[in-house]
Chain A
Amino acid sequence: MTTTAPAPAVRKPVEPGAEPPPPERSSVSRWIPAAVVIGVWIVAYLLLEGTDTLALPGVARTDLHDRLTEFNNDLLASRDTNPVMQFTNSISDLLRSLFEWVQRMIVVPNPPRPVPEIGWLGVVAIATYIGLAIANWRIAVLVCLSFLSFGVLGYWQDSLDLLIVTGISVAIVIVLGMPLAVLVGTSTRANRAITVVLDLMQTMPTFVYLLPVVLFFGIGVSAAVVSTMIYALPPLVRIAGFGIREVPTATIEATDSAGQTYWQRLFKVQLPMARKTIIVGLNQTTLAALSMATLAAFVNGPGLGKPVLAGLRINDVGAAFVPGVLIVVMAVMLDRTTTAASERSEKVARGGGGNVRQRRVLLAVGGVGTLVAVYLSRTYIGLAEFPVYTIGDRIATWVNDVMDWVTSTFGGITGAFKDLVTTWLLNPMQSLIADSPWYVSFVAIAALAFVFGGARALVSSLVCLTGIWFFDLWHDAMITLTMTLVATVLVMVLALVFGVWMARDRKVDLGIRPLLDAGQTIPPFVYLIPVLALFGPSRFTAIVAGVVYAAPAAIKLVADGVKGVSPTTIEAGRSTGQTTWQEITKVQLPMAKGSLVLATNQGLLYVLSMTVIGGLVGAGALGYDVVYGFSRSEAWGKGLAAGITIVLLGVMLDRITRAAADVRRDDGPGPRRAFHTRLPIGFPGDRKVVET
């Protein structure tokens, strides 16, 4: 079932059966047994509908869940005796006091002062100055306006809190990640070992490590920082490691032959030559950190995620809108600043970067101005506490009005679309998958895994299905699976349409790609706001949010894959007088099959990772179980079980699609594109960093 999405594309061209190579033919034959399995499944469903579905009412728990909760309670009780807990608690305290110290410096009163050490004017000035110093005046203006918008829209403290959490996490990630990146870049064995761990970390949906993190670090700042670190570490290690590994052997050899030491090689050759890629890694890590720090609102982390979450919980789109916009502003600011800083450092390294004297004067003047601003902000209370504006509230009200108008005007259209998908795709599939007896679905899914992925996929799916069954959330898991599949189908439809269009028309590509890049920069939380506004809380809303989140990556993969088809082959095809449609379906898509399957794989995992967020907006099922587990201490065990079940679903879908693509495990970085790591934004096209 998992490959439903790309399948039509793969199958169509093969039917006429003239030229395609053998592997193609084997995939056509897969569809016959698949249809048989589904047929039998439907018959069994019709006969046994509603029996043994293992459905568990929304708030009900099983013994297993309670045992997990107890385990949690025991661990918490042993806080003072268990050495592991003592260790994590002291880290937790350390992180909290670090956070609070920075907070007292720039946002909250630092007793005995009634205001922070540096008031808002000083903070804005310092941030602007940093923008000027590491990039250019345009970035300085961008940073200044962004910071002002934080305050003017009424979220000064939440914005700075989010920045502090992001900043602390990124700093720790750099300290931990760079040595790892060096290992990855210089030792084949370390590379292999670390890559396995990173792969595992990145196939896990974001939320899953929140629960154990909370267990060991408590809720609040420290959980936010730790989970952000875990989430933001892989991109840096991977990308920077890749950059170091890609330093040409010729250069290493040539400089080795001059008699350099290990450290000289590292600091004079490898790191400088990989600098550009390392900075791309930093950029990716920063954006990943921001998006995770936002989500950490779930574990009571400070920052802009909190008001968004609060708004979403009570379905108040207007209230979520303003902080949501500020998150986007912050993402754009961080992205542009790191990118511009890397461009500038490149130029400076090449002896460029404009008139040095002039720049020094500018920086000196700016520095003096900043110091004056800091001084003023320490002297006048009005420059220390951000003045209160009502504009944010007015925008919220206005947004709610607009949304009311939109829903009343277009409600018919969006509602019809929602009903269409729900009635014709979602409900039938959900009935089949979730309302069949559990053993029927179990066998059917395993059989389909075998049909598409062979013995390897069969084994993985048996293990995962057994695990899902064990954790007592079978029915919810099947509903989540259904939603994931439906969303992935929609993602692949979008990916095929836009991907092929982009691949065939350069102008379209140039127009759409920046939008996709921007879409990937925005923390996923933010997508929910407009989607919720349009469709109200429902399963369909969660599906749309997943689609919006997953589509950019899938579209890009398809576009790049189709574009990668050799022009000679296309020319040869054209010389036979084929139509455009024939060219797409018989040449381009079959030849881009690898990318299509990869796009499906990524689509599935991206969609699945939105499950928990979807749980906030009426998705129910596993997402809701996790959210519920966070909010009620007695439901913690159920939340954990739901989290583990999501991971098992993810691993299963991942294994099946990989096996279906016949991607061997050991084939290196190529198709193993990291889950969650967005492709570099505005990455210079001269070098292919595929392996992010």
Chain B
Amino acid sequence: MTTAALSVDGLWKIFGPRSDRVIGTPDAELSRADLKAKTGNVVGVKDVSFDVAPGEVFVVMGLSGSGKSTLVRLLTRLIEPTSGSVTLNGEEITAASESKLREIRRHQVSMVFQHFGLLPHRQVIDNVAYGLEVRGVGKKERRAKAGEIVDLVGLTGYEKSYPDQLSGGMQQRVGLARALAGDPEMLLFDEPFSALDPLIRRDMQNEVIRLHRELGKTMVFITHDLSEALKLGDRILIMRDGAIVQIGSPDEVVARPADDYVKDFVSEVPKSHVLTLKWVMREPRPGESLEGPALPVTTIVRQAARAAIASEHPIRVVDGDELLGVVDEEDIMRVVVAEEES
């Protein structure tokens, strides 16, 4: 990772009276409930730092109230941070002037919201074109551009509908199209699919995956649903009470939960669907056969199972040419059985 697309450093948000007086004092170390009781302030986000690489899908996950929405709003200063910095493509958002900030919002980042936030008095096409309109793009041009995006998200034929004539899933497609219309480098999602039915949610997740593949945008994706996080995320940040608990790739999070909070989260996850061989391989025992088939270390356990059962010999786990370790049928069974018992 050369330069990060987004870099967050020591970000705080404290709601309430005299919120700026808390940071740096011993009060800042208090738990959320204690601080609330003592000063009436609520910690929204507590000393959060992370980087997001260009083209990465970065998922932020946590229970409701853990500060996810606050965090994502701090990134474009929809909520003003109490302290800390946010840097987007080398531009420090937290130091930007009003008009600079507007420029950034117009051209570089767009956001998709849980409750859509569409304008009920505008047709789909004009909702999608809204970002272009506030930039001052002419009507004809912005409608043409918006039309393309409407097609891209699969809403062809609904251009002239009004939002309340669409289902929830379709409304969120409009939200997605609106975010894409300005051709931003980065997309922010705040639990965009939480309000949708499970089947539609799955469609929309696939849609996001498809768009990511086609457009390659950097994404910060907020969710409280672990399976969504695992499905979409290149990396996952887990939050509790405003603070970071763990950052890691999906398999890291599942294999090495940082604490009981995370462990609780991941306990229901079918591990064999997430873990890669990295997490189950071991050193070859003395005298063990090394003639089994070779599989890359990034192979998901479930996909290695068939090979392991078919083979007489343990599977060799390799990274390129280098041998990292081995797994046999028993190692794999241990993962699968463990998850059935839990």
Stretch at the interface among B106-114, B150-158, B206-214, B320-328: B106-114
- Asked if B117 is at the interface of the complex by the 8 Å CB criterion, the answer is yes
Q: Is the CB of A258 within 8 A of B130?
A: yes
Number of chain B residues whose Cβ lies closer than 8 Å to a Cβ of chain A? 34
Q: Is the CB of B116 within 8 A of A250?
A: yes
Q: Please encode chain A, from 118 to 152, with 1 for each CB lying within 8 Å of some chain B CB and 0 for all others.
A: 00000000000000000000000000000000000
Interface centre among B73, B118, B119, B133 (most CB of A within 10 A): B119
Stretch at the interface among B97-105, B230-238, B301-309: B97-105
Q: Is the CB of B119 within 8 A of A261?
A: no
- Asked if A505 is at the interface of the complex by the 8 Å CB criterion, the answer is no
Provide the bound-state CA to CA distance between A264 and B118, in Å. Answer: 15
Q: Is the CB of B175 within 8 A of A254?
A: yes
- Asked if A255 is at the interface of the complex by the 8 Å CB criterion, the answer is yes
Provide the bound-state CA to CA distance between A250 and B163, in Å. Answer: 14
Contact partner of A261 (CB less than 8 A), chosen from B102, B175, B182, B188, is B102
Smallest CB-CB separation from A256: which chain B residue?
A: B78
A254-B103 CB under 8 A given contacts A259-B135, A272-B121, A273-B120: no
- Asked if B139 is at the interface of the complex by the 8 Å CB criterion, the answer is no
- Asked if A189 is at the interface of the complex by the 8 Å CB criterion, the answer is no
B162 partner residues in chain A, CB cutoff 8 A? 350-351
- Asked if A257 is at the interface of the complex by the 8 Å CB criterion, the answer is yes
Provide the bound-state CA to CA distance between A306 and B331, in Å. Answer: 100
Contact partner of B116 (CB less than 8 A), chosen from A254, A269, A272, is A254
B117 partner residues in chain A, CB cutoff 8 A? 248, 250-255
Give the Cβ gap from A128 to chain B, nearest Cβ, in Å.
30
Smallest CB-CB separation from B182: which chain A residue?
A: A258
Smallest CB-CB separation from B69: which chain A residue?
A: A253
Contact partner of B131 (CB less than 8 A), chosen from A250, A259, A269, is A259
A350 partner residues in chain B, CB cutoff 8 A? 121, 162
The A/B interface has a contact count, at CB < 8 Å, of: 75
- Asked if B115 is at the interface of the complex by the 8 Å CB criterion, the answer is yes
B119 partner residues in chain A, CB cutoff 8 A? 251, 255, 268-269, 272-273
Number of chain A residues whose Cβ lies closer than 8 Å to a Cβ of chain B? 22
- Asked if A349 is at the interface of the complex by the 8 Å CB criterion, the answer is yes
Provide the bound-state CA to CA distance between A273 and B164, in Å. Answer: 13
Q: Is the CB of B102 within 8 A of A259?
A: yes
A258 partner residues in chain B, CB cutoff 8 A? 105-106, 110, 130-131, 134, 178, 182
Task: Please report which residues of chain A, range 235-268, place their CB below 8 angstroms from some CB of chain B when the two chains form the complex.
Answer: 248, 250-261, 264, 268
Provide the bound-state CA to CA distance between A269 and B131, in Å. Answer: 13
Q: Is the CB of A259 within 8 A of B105?
A: yes
- Asked if B83 is at the interface of the complex by the 8 Å CB criterion, the answer is no
Interface centre among A250, A259, A269, A351 (most CB of B within 10 A): A259
Q: Is the CB of B113 within 8 A of A259?
A: no
- Asked if A275 is at the interface of the complex by the 8 Å CB criterion, the answer is yes
- Asked if B160 is at the interface of the complex by the 8 Å CB criterion, the answer is yes
- Asked if B76 is at the interface of the complex by the 8 Å CB criterion, the answer is yes
Provide the bound-state CA to CA distance between A254 and B113, in Å. Answer: 7
- Asked if B123 is at the interface of the complex by the 8 Å CB criterion, the answer is yes
B175 partner residues in chain A, CB cutoff 8 A? 254
Q: Is the CB of B121 within 8 A of A254?
A: no
Smallest CB-CB separation from B105: which chain A residue?
A: A259
B116 partner residues in chain A, CB cutoff 8 A? 250, 254
Q: Is the CB of A351 within 8 A of B123?
A: yes
Give the Cβ gap from A244 to chain B, nearest Cβ, in Å.
14
Give the Cβ gap from A315 to chain B, nearest Cβ, in Å.
54
Provide the bound-state CA to CA distance between A350 and B120, in Å. Answer: 9
Q: Please encode chain B, from 119 to 146, with 1 for each CB lying within 8 Å of some chain A CB and 0 for all others.
A: 1110100000011011100000000000
A250-B120 CB under 8 A given contacts A257-B78, A258-B182, A350-B162: no
Q: Is the CB of A257 within 8 A of B130?
A: no
Interface centre among B105, B114, B118, B121 (most CB of A within 10 A): B121
Instruction: Name B's A-contacting residues (CB within 8 A).
Output: 73, 76, 78, 101-107, 109-111, 113-121, 123, 130-131, 133-135, 160, 162, 175, 178, 182, 188
List 10 interface pairs A-B (beta carbons < 8 Å), by A numbering.
Answer: A248-B117, A251-B118, A253-B117, A257-B76, A257-B110, A258-B134, A258-B178, A259-B102, A268-B133, A268-B134
In the complex, besides A254-B178, A257-B111, A257-B188, 12 extra interface pairs with C-beta distance below 8 angstroms are: A248-B115, A250-B115, A250-B116, A252-B117, A253-B78, A256-B105, A257-B76, A257-B109, A258-B182, A260-B102, A260-B134, A351-B160
What are the 8 tightest A-B residue pairs by CB atom distance, in nearest-first order? A254-B117, A259-B105, A259-B106, A258-B131, A250-B115, A250-B117, A257-B111, A259-B102
